Each structure stands twice: as C-alpha cells, then as structure tokens.
Structure 1
C-alpha cells in the first residue's frame, strides 16, 4: 500500500470530520499506521490487516472523538495498539497521555511507537488498570469492557471533575442501567466515522461526587 494512498484516505476523512492538522502531524499519523502494519504481520496486534482499513478503522475512529477530549492529562485504558491514546497524543502534543494495557506485546509496540515517533508526551504502563495510580482529567476506553467493569476497575483514575469517554457502537442501554454508584452519564454523541458503515457512539461519563 503506497503512502500516498494512505495520506489520501486520511485527508478525505479529516475533511469529512471538519478537522485540520499540520503536515507534520498528518505524516506522524501515517508513520504510525506503517509501523502498526509492520508489527502486526508478526505480533497480531489488530484484526485489521489492510493499512488502508487501518486509516479508517483506527485513525479516523480515534480522531472522531477529538472534539470531546478535554484537560491536560489523559489515560487510555486497555489501549491495545495505542488506540485512541497514541492518535490523541500525536494530534495534541501538549497533553500528557498515559497508555495502560496488560498485554506485553502490545505494550512493547506502544513503547516502540513512542520512540519511533518521538512522542515526548506519552508514558506506557504495562499493568492491570486496577494497579495504576494517579488521576487524570480525561480517561478514554475503546472496546475495552462493559461500562460497569471499566468503572469498577479504573474509576479511581478519573479526577473529581474529569470526563470518562467510552467509545461504543450501538447505545448499550443495559450497561447504562448498570452504572456503578458514583458515576453518571453526562451526555452522549453520535460520532460517524468517515468510510465506516457502522454505528459509533461516544458516552461521556462523570462522577456524581468526590472520588
């Protein structure tokens, strides 16, 4: 897959999202996809094999939530291949981003991406989310677990006035009905991903009181 084709797919998606990124940032995003495709051939980091599909299903899917990310610090729980955390770190280098995952090979890939892409604002933590300390202005989770499990395991990471951004497909009414005490759904957004014929929904969760 040519770099030009990947760049064209990214640029078309950015236009559809109404986002403008610098040439350097766009190049970094393509570098990330190229690195992911190389590692994926050996380490099976994602079920998406086609780099062009990676642009749609990984880059554009992650970029779709950019307007809703707030604060100076972000933790990406169950980050996997660094999604959406690495993408969000690339587009906002002023934000401190922490990637959390229990899978060793995925954490190794994250560290290689941080080194290769020169991302000074990213920390990689290979651990269970329950073991991670600190609080963050924003916590992201993409296809990680049910809302109840996410918040039971990682709710301590959310600052008192922070926002937890849960990336979902269809509206998970049963999961919303089972939210743990201390958390509530503040708002939700449909976030169409350019080129992806599937429903995407972002749930914004907040605390109902002090942690």
Structure 2
C-alpha cells in the first residue's frame, strides 16, 4: 500500500470484516474517496466529510455487503444494479472489490451521475456502467441477477419500482438500518424475504441489516 493517510484505517477495517483485498484494490478505494472529497466542495455529494468517517460510512459500510453477495449462486459472474446509488454507494466499492462483477450504478441526480462517470473514467473501472435515470425509466438491454440498494426507499417501494428489472431467479438485497416490523409487513405478497442478516460495520455504533429477497415462484 502507498502512504495514503487513510491506508491504515482501511486495512484495519478490512481485517475486522475479514475481507482480503489486493493492494491495488485498496488503493483504488482510497482514490475513490479522494475524488469524492474533491467533488464534495462544489457538488455536495455527501454530508459525510471527515476522512475517517468516510472510510467507515462509505467504504466499510458498503463492503460489509460483499459476503452476503458472495454466498449467492453464480457470484461474481453476475450483473448487479445499484438503485439510487448517489455518489456510487455501495456499487462502486463492490465493483472495485469484485472486478468480475458487472455493476450498473443508477441515479436520477445529474451531478451525482456526472461524478460517478468521472470516477469510472479516472479509476478505469471497466466493470462499471453509469445510468442517469429514475429506476422506473431505466431500460437495460437485459435484466439483472442482483439488485441492491442502500437507504433508497421503503422495502415495498424498492421491490415494486425495480421488479421489472430483476431477472428470472434474481435476488434483491436491500441495505437497511434498524429493521421495522411494519415496513417488513408491507412488502408485496409476490416477494419472498429469504433472509435478514445483521451487518457489523467496524467503527459504526448503529444497526445495519441486509434484507435478501426474491420473487415467489
């Protein structure tokens, strides 16, 4: 690793979540944060600005999802859609950590889409595609085997809005904070919640969960 000021914090966090990444991937993750910090002053991409907090709340809070995805059949040779990606979270960190994963990061906000395109070019992320559109208007050439979101909307709205984009046999993975019983109960009848998994983000004293679901046969 280079002498990046956040390198030690990232390495420590990756060890805590038992995730081994090559030095090149770690360098790309830190460069991604550098680009986000530069753009933040003009574009206000994220309210998280302290460098240490960005490692925790942007990188590690995205990468804790990777073991959940790795347990799915066919990973990493799958197509993944990140709905409401914002500045590229969790899609871009996942694409860096798993370069065989084909990731589309989708957001309707023009400045955030411009930033994600900048990152895709600057970091030469050949496995990342940026889509600037509302999820309801997104029209890919083929549906996705994986659709993820991070604080995008309620579970019911997430499943309903992206249902037409999910491939047959595909899986949704929604990142949530504290699980809400009423929100879970409002999930459409056609959706089967396969698992709710507690995620532990080092340095973050807040609840995190992954809700894994698919369409009922």
TM-score norm. by structure 1 comes to: 0.95
Residue in structure 1 matching 2:193, options 185, 190, 193? 185
Give the alignment of 1:42-57 within 5 angstroms: 42-57=42-57
Deviations 1:107-164 (A, max 9, x none): 0000000000000111111001011123111111001000111111112111221111
The equivalent residue for 1:22 is 22
Contact 1:73 1:96 in 2 (8 A): yes
- Please name the residue that 1:202 is paired with: 210
Q: 1:173 aligns with which of 181, 186, 192?
A: 181
1:66 is matched with which residue?
66
Unaligned 5+ residue runs, structure 2? Answer: none
Question: Could you tell me whether the CA contact under 8 Å between 1:99 and 1:123 is conserved in 2?
Answer: yes
Contact 1:136-1:159 within 8 A present in 2 as well: yes
Native 8 Å contact 1:34 1:51 kept in 2: no
For residues 25-174 of structure 1, what are the structure 2 equivalents within 5 Å? 25-69=25-69, 70=72, 71=75, 72-133=78-139, 134-174=142-182
Unaligned segments of structure 1, at least 5 residues: none
Q: Could you say what secondary structure the match of 1:5 adopts? A: coil
SS at match of 2:193: strand
Number of residues paired by the alignment?
208
SS at match of 2:161: helix
Poorly superposed stretches of 4+, deviation over 2 Å: 2-5
Which shows bigger deviation, 155-164 or 9-18? 155-164
1:3 Cα shift?
Answer: 5.8
**1: CA distance between counterparts of 2:183 and 2:193?**
11
What is the CA-CA distance between 1:5 and the residue it aligns to? 3.0
Residues 185-207 of structure 1: CA deviation (Å, up to 9, x unaligned): 10011001000010101100111
